[in-house]
Structure 1
Amino acid sequence: MSNQTPNHSSYDIIIVGGAIMGSSTAWFLTEQKDFQGRVLVVEKDPSYEFSSTAHTNSCMRQQYSNALNVNISQFAADFVKNIRNYMKDDRVPELSIRSFGYMYLADTESFAQTLRENIKVQHDAGAATVLMTPEEIKAKYPFYNVDDIVLGSINTVDEGYWDGAAVFDWWRRLARERGVEYVQNEVVAMTKNAGGTRVESVTLAGGEVISCGQVVNASGPRAARTAAMAGIDIPVEPRKRFSWIFSAEQPLDQDLPLTIDPSGVHCRENGGGTYQAGGHADIDPAVDYDDFNMDHSFWENHAWPILATRIPQFEAVKVTHSWAGHYAYNTLDHNAVLGRHPEIENFIFQNGFSGHGLQQSPAMGRGIAELLVHGAYRSLDLSPFSYERITTNTPMIEKAVI
């Protein structure tokens, strides 16, 4: 890596990590009329080849068990559908959501009851989720095998595929045009003041020491490593997730919702007779930050047999692409860790999204920008995601985790 030296020795805000969370925050900072400060984004790999952002399913859903998570996705949907208005730039393309929905399939009465409980939360928050009996599922989506299914849950309003790469590109591009500085470098150390209440500077891989007013940890699966530089523990670790693109010899004659099989294997429409599937091993340990090795036997022995049983037309398929990516997995409760550290007052968390990061990036970037500039969330109260629940071991439970 060729390290780039920042243009200045001091910044009001340093964002550690320039993928979708860091870039969302950077762009939303430029929208804060009360803020004229200097912002530096430090990204070790500007190709983003191994980032969670690059390995995403690029879908959003409103089917959560926690109302705040529903509200966060509702803002994401509004942002995507009205991106040109939000960005106030005619160069930005008009985007939409391909709302084929998420289809949760329950094969036990216990799981079905969870879907019933979740739909109450979703309806109260304004989501359009519906429950479907096996007979109703078969009538509308005849390609499914529902012999073992008790109940299904789907929402086809603002739930499905969106072009996350385009949103990311425009956040980054416009943030830079508006004065945010991006450098290819790596934060390797942080120095606190004598009282240990503030991070005074960060040290980069090239040895540069850069003073900071506030520092944002937006380093994805590497969140724990970044937090440790400030003497902070955070229960976020990289967990490996496998993805496959495949073509079907007999493509379905209608859109395939993002189907969550009770096994945990999921699959969605990809267009042109191709589909994207994902899953992970039953034994799901933390992995090395640089471990992206693919387990090709997992498809043959686990994922494909499950998909072919659930959708018999997938008995004859051909995998065209496959990769392993990382979830930034919060082991406490699979929800984000967000906001200020209670003691190191200028250290800001934007971590632990556990696979929800892309769809949550608009609301999280906006919220962190508000917190940095105004000292509080203004649009949507994101304080339930605070670090305090880590120290008190008080999980914010989200039942709908894929």
Structure 2
Amino acid sequence: MNVKWKYFSIRSMHRMAKITFHRIISSYSRTLHKSSILNYDDYTNKSFYDIGEHPYKRVWEITKLDFQRNRIRYNQAKYDYYKRRGKLTNMMKSVCDLELLPMECTVAIIGGGLVGSACAWWIKQRIRDDDLKVVVIEADSTFSISSTILSPGGIWQQFSCPEKVQMSLFTAEFLRNANEHLRILENDLPAFRFTPMNSLFLADNEEKANAMVQNHKMQTALSFKWSQVDLFLSDLGAKVKLLNNDELQLMFPFMRFGDIVLGSLGSENEGVFDGWQLLSAFREKNITLGVQYIKAKVTGFLYEWNNDQSPAKVLSERDQWKHKSLRRLVVDLIFTLMEPQVTDCAPRALYSYLFINCAGAWSGEVAEMAGFGLGEEVMSVPIPVVARKRYAFIFHCPDGPSLDMPYLFDPSGVWCRREGLGHLYICGKNPSWEEDNQIDHSNLDVDYDYFDTKIWPVLAARVPSFEKLKVKNSWAYYVDRNLYDNSAIIGPHPFHSNYYHCGGFDGMALQHGIPAARALMEQFLEGAYVSIDLRDFHLSRMLRGKTVKPECF
């Protein structure tokens, strides 16, 4: 009896010790590694853990990865020539690297707006590894003149090019599930608001009506891919229907359609959203994924000689560009770590393997810094993306329509939509090439005569209640316009394959920027477009003399 009692006691004590050890491990698991256990899936390539996996194994994997990460950072500090980082203090204390400016990175993204942040997000979604360092360079952290913030957000599918329709459909699907894509573990859902709103395009002659009919056949027969699964909207494509004059008058009795031949009305996957909320959600998510945002201004690019080529003395200056590779980016550091702000710093070189130009309206200037358009042969072709000013006016009309007011696109280029439910409306105009050349694009000053002469008469003729309105607010913003064919430039450079361009959307970056960023990720990692084929938007189309199909409206 005594032996059995002792054996039972020893076994019970051993079991209690195991339970106690398990409780200690569970309650103090945060002290066993440096990073937060809530963000374990943000540091590794594993996006999830299998159900039933033992907690001890999780702790072991997380601790091992933390030691590996700290060892890498210790070696980086040990061989740092400028001695800017301490060997122990350099170890990661948070998900955001607090270093002023890195010496090198894997991907350098120029422009921290929606397109640049979306590119960083897509790359980190595919490869969640600290060895793949993504740096986003943005000169203005307040985004005071960014098109992402100032441009009126909207999604519609009435395009003449099938790729643009597919990108709009994908953006609508992405925004529908934005809370799942951009949420941070154990945090509140991102503050994101999407307001569904139908878009109405009008044709005032037979030529535009015929083009609208042809585009309608293409729009309703499209589908797009999400990952490896085909998703079909309305079993065929976009939900867009054509309305004749009588049907338009019956559906929108507060408008006049005497000069209209045909109209195109979207009924699903269309609406407006706040670009600032979406950008904030992308930035917060990217920081948790290890993306580093730097407040700096790009001042130039540096090239290096290829290893298998002759030295510069043998080649003429005209032919040297053929034997050089784009390697370094020169930035003017204006980083703000603590107050006061650091200014007048000397430019620093950032070594990178891949450059993505997402500078928006200033992407053409950045491309010129790289020498595009200033050399010979292929390098003589510029990237003709320039900044063009547009106006947005908010007015109040107490007798105007409310929920039945669509996102109106008049044949004259004037657009108008409601803002909220307080009889407030936002309007503007997409000018023609002749009108665009008469606008002063050197500043963002608002010309109120433009509203009185170009916009208000058109709105009053279309909606009689708009004859009595009062302008409450207005602002000007820039769009990145491609002077070649007024369509975006997406893809690598024909000669320097490590330079990617993503710009020239002409105000469509809010609805086409996310799928365009995914296309760049696929081209970079897969070597081909998997979801939407955007080869027609490459810069090489300018070398072949081809253009993207122009928009009819």
Give 1 or 2: higher strand fraction.
1
- 1:324 pairs with 2:324: no
1:52 is displaced (CA, Å) by 1.0
- 1:113 pairs with 2:214: no
Q: 1:167-182 maps to which residues of 2 (within 5 A)?
A: 167-182=278-293
The 1-side partners of 2:447 and 2:521 are apart by 39
Identify if the C-alpha distance between structure 1 residues 326 and 286 changes in structure 2 by more than 3 Å, giving closer, same or farther.
Answer: farther
- 1:347 — aligned with what? 499
- 1:32 pairs with 2:129: no
Cα offsets for 1:270-294 (capped at 9, x unmatched): 1121111011555213978752121
Match of 1:149 among 260, 268, 291: 260
Q: Identity of aligned pairs, percent? A: 30
Contact preservation (8 Å) 2:183, 2:190: no
- 1:207 — aligned with what? 347
| Paired amino acid for 2:516 | M
The 2-side partners of 1:211 and 1:346 are apart by 12
Q: 1:2-401 maps to which residues of 2 (within 5 A)?
A: 6-33=100-127, 36-89=131-184, 91-93=188-190, 97-125=194-222, 126-194=237-305, 196=321, 197-205=324-332, 206-232=346-372, 233-271=382-420, 272-282=422-432, 283-285=435-437, 291-400=443-552
| Paired amino acid for 1:364 | A
Cα offsets for 1:347-388 (capped at 9, x unmatched): 101011111110012211222223233333333222221111
Contact preservation (8 Å) 2:402, 2:418: no
1:284 aligned counterpart, secondary structure: helix
Identify if the C-alpha distance between structure 1 residues 73 and 380 changes in structure 2 by more than 3 Å, giving closer, same or farther.
Answer: same
The 2-side partners of 1:78 and 1:63 are apart by 17
The 1-side partners of 2:138 and 2:402 are apart by 43
Identify if the C-alpha distance between structure 1 residues 297 and 5 changes in structure 2 by more than 3 Å, giving closer, same or farther.
Answer: farther
Contact preservation (8 Å) 1:61, 1:73: yes
The 2-side partners of 1:62 and 1:385 are apart by 18
| TM-score normalised over the length of structure 2 | 0.69
The 1-side partners of 2:415 and 2:402 are apart by 19
2:475 aligned counterpart, secondary structure: strand
**More RCO (CA 8 Å, sep 6+):** 1
| Paired amino acid for 2:506 | S
Contact preservation (8 Å) 2:204, 2:260: yes
The 2-side partners of 1:175 and 1:254 are apart by 36
- Identify the range of structure 1 (358-367 vs 27-36) with the bigger mean alpha-carbon deviation: 27-36
The 2-side partners of 1:312 and 1:305 are apart by 10
1:112 is displaced (CA, Å) by 1.0
Contact preservation (8 Å) 2:239, 2:267: yes
Contact preservation (8 Å) 2:101, 2:294: no
| Paired amino acid for 2:199 | Y
The 2-side partners of 1:102 and 1:187 are apart by 39
The 1-side partners of 2:540 and 2:257 are apart by 43
The 1-side partners of 2:530 and 2:402 are apart by 45
1:207 is displaced (CA, Å) by 0.9
The 1-side partners of 2:250 and 2:179 are apart by 39
Identify if the C-alpha distance between structure 1 residues 379 and 62 changes in structure 2 by more than 3 Å, giving closer, same or farther.
Answer: same
Contact preservation (8 Å) 2:389, 2:441: no
The 1-side partners of 2:513 and 2:430 are apart by 23
Aligned residues: 398
Contact preservation (8 Å) 1:258, 1:269: yes
Gaps of 5+ in 1: none
Identify if the C-alpha distance between structure 1 residues 50 and 336 changes in structure 2 by more than 3 Å, giving closer, same or farther.
Answer: same
Contact preservation (8 Å) 1:52, 1:326: yes
Contact preservation (8 Å) 2:327, 2:351: yes
Identify if the C-alpha distance between structure 1 residues 281 and 57 changes in structure 2 by more than 3 Å, giving closer, same or farther.
Answer: same
The 1-side partners of 2:366 and 2:519 are apart by 21
Cα offsets for 1:104-160 (capped at 9, x unmatched): 111111111111111011011101111111111111111111111111111120112
| TM-score normalised over the length of structure 1 | 0.94
Output the aligned Cα RMSD: 2.0
The 2-side partners of 1:19 and 1:376 are apart by 25
| Paired amino acid for 1:264 | G
Contact preservation (8 Å) 1:16, 1:217: yes
Contact preservation (8 Å) 1:187, 1:202: yes
1:328 is displaced (CA, Å) by 0.5
Identify if the C-alpha distance between structure 1 residues 143 and 278 changes in structure 2 by more than 3 Å, giving closer, same or farther.
Answer: same
The 1-side partners of 2:436 and 2:539 are apart by 24
Identify if the C-alpha distance between structure 1 residues 31 and 97 changes in structure 2 by more than 3 Å, giving closer, same or farther.
Answer: same
Gaps of 5+ in 2: 1-97, 223-236, 307-320, 333-345, 373-381
The 2-side partners of 1:92 and 1:330 are apart by 36
The 1-side partners of 2:281 and 2:471 are apart by 31
The 1-side partners of 2:520 and 2:440 are apart by 28
| Paired amino acid for 1:357 | A
Contact preservation (8 Å) 1:100, 1:255: no
Larger Rg: 2
1:339 aligned counterpart, secondary structure: strand
Identify if the C-alpha distance between structure 1 residues 300 and 121 changes in structure 2 by more than 3 Å, giving closer, same or farther.
Answer: same
| Paired amino acid for 1:228 | E
Give 1 or 2: higher helix fraction.
2
1:251 is displaced (CA, Å) by 2.5
